[in-house]
């Protein structure tokens, strides 16, 4: 279920969520044109009660672009039998080994794959196993955040870019085989404009990626940190954000270019297992 937060007592002009009929393997092809059309108007699409295999999820990702292989994460996970494009996200530990990635803690606001030269344009999560009333995923409309910035701040950031650290996951864990960052001004990571335009609408969105080790080239470290801290403040309440409470069979896909997302923590002992597909 998606609930909408009012901003200063006013609903956002275009709610980002749209709920579409459930998907099954035999419905994917016929449903694809309608899904793509809905995507043009709503950057978050929700499907309840789906029955999809991992291979179906890869076909679903292809509606939006080219499905991409799972990036290197914090640990090696057994994905035997899964397509290389399917990432397991789970807090479950069996026989002392993680079943999936990103654990069970809070995940702060972030954008998937902002640290690579061509980030995913679409990210999708499919719920296989979910806890009751925990592990909600929240979505933040970065077009609305951009529009909320003072004019002077919008003008200041219009020509600027941000470098996105590639050494750590969204959970803050060091990626497998990487070393810690000591100097963000010289560390590796993709550089993207701070303001992106969604081609389908022409509207501008603030593109922050994630806060950890971010750096604005051309500024001193102190100036960069101050400006980024200022921008991130506009992502806090009462920014327009919405939660999705998961049930098994839920499928949610979002426009990764203009939406950020975060996750609520999962209690100890509760089990959550998701499959993720991304396309660019």
- Over 90: is that where the pLDDT of 199 sits? no
Q: What secondary structure does DSSP assign to 230-279, as a single string?
A: HHHHTTSTTS-EEEE---TT-EEEEETTTEEEEE----TT---EEEEEEE
- Over 80: is that where the pLDDT of 9 sits? no
With cut-offs at 50, 70 and 90, classify the pLDDT of residue 201.
Answer: confident
**Domains in the chain and their CATH numbers?**
17-279 (3.60.130.10)
Residues linked to residue 101 through DSSP beta bridges, in sequence order: 89
Residue 162 in tokens? 């941000």
Q: How many residues can be counted in the chain?
A: 280
The per-residue pLDDT for 221 is 96
Residue 73 in tokens? 């994460």
Predicted TM-score (pTM) of the model is 0.90
Closest by alpha carbon to 163, among 188, 182, 183, 191?
191
Whether the Cβ atoms of residue 74 and residue 175 lie closer than 8 Å to each other: yes
Query: Going edge to edge, which strands form the sheet with 251-255?
Result: 17-20, 44-47, 251-255, 122-129, 273-279, 87-90, 101-102
With cut-offs at 50, 70 and 90, classify the pLDDT of residue 87.
Answer: very high
Q: How many Å apart are CA 160 and CA 231, to the nearest integer? A: 13
In sequence order, which residues have a C-beta less than 8 Å from that of residue 135 and are 6 or more positions away? 104, 246, 263, 264, 265, 266, 270, 272
- Over 80: is that where the pLDDT of 5 sits? no
Residue 244 in tokens? 């999705």
For residue range 250-278, what is the model confidence (pLDDT) as tens digits? 999 999 999 999 999 999 889 999 999 99
For residue range 56-74, what is the model confidence (pLDDT) as tens digits? 999 999 999 999 998 776 6
3-class SS at 126? strand
The per-residue pLDDT for 8 is 40
Average pLDDT, the chain: 89
Residues linked to residue 242 through DSSP beta bridges, in sequence order: 139
b/e per residue 212-243 (b: at least 16 CB within 10 A): bbbbbeeeeeeebbebbeebbebbeeebbbbb
- Over 60: is that where the pLDDT of 244 sits? yes
């Amino acid at each position: 279920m998606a609930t909408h937060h009012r901003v200063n007592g006013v609903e956002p002009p275009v709610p980002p969520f749209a709920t579409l009929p459930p998907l099954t393997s035999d419905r994917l092809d016929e449903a694809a044109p309608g899904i793509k059309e809905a995507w043009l108007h709503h950057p978050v699409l929700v499907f309840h009660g789906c029955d999809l295999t991992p291979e179906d999820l890869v076909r679903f990702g292809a509606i939006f672009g080219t499905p991409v292989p799972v990036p290197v994460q914090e640990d090696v996970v057994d994905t035997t039998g899964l397509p290389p494009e399917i990432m397991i996200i789970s807090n479950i530990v069996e026989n002392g080994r993680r079943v999936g990635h990103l654990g069970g803690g809070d995940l702060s606001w972030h954008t998937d794959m902002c640290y690579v030269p061509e980030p995913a344009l679409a990210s999708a999560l499919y719920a296989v196993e979910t806890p009751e009333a925990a592990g909600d995923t929240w979505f933040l409309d970065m077009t609305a955040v951009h529009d909320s910035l003072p004019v002077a701040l919008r003008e200041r950031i219009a020509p600027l870019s941000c470098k996105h650290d590639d050494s750590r996951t969204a959970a803050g864990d060091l990626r497998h085989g990487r070393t810690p960052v000591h100097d963000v001004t010289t560390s590796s990571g993709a550089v993207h404009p701070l303001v992106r335009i969604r081609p389908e609408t022409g509207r501008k969105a603030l593109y922050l990626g994630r806060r950890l080790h971010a750096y604005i080239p051309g500024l001193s470290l102190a100036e960069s940190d101050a400006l980024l801290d200022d921008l991130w403040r506009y992502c806090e309440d009462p920014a327009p954000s919405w939660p999705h409470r998961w049930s098994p069979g839920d499928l949610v896909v979002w426009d990764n270019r203009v939406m950020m997302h975060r996750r609520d923590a999962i209690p100890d002992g509760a089990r959550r297992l998701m499959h993720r597909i991304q396309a660019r």
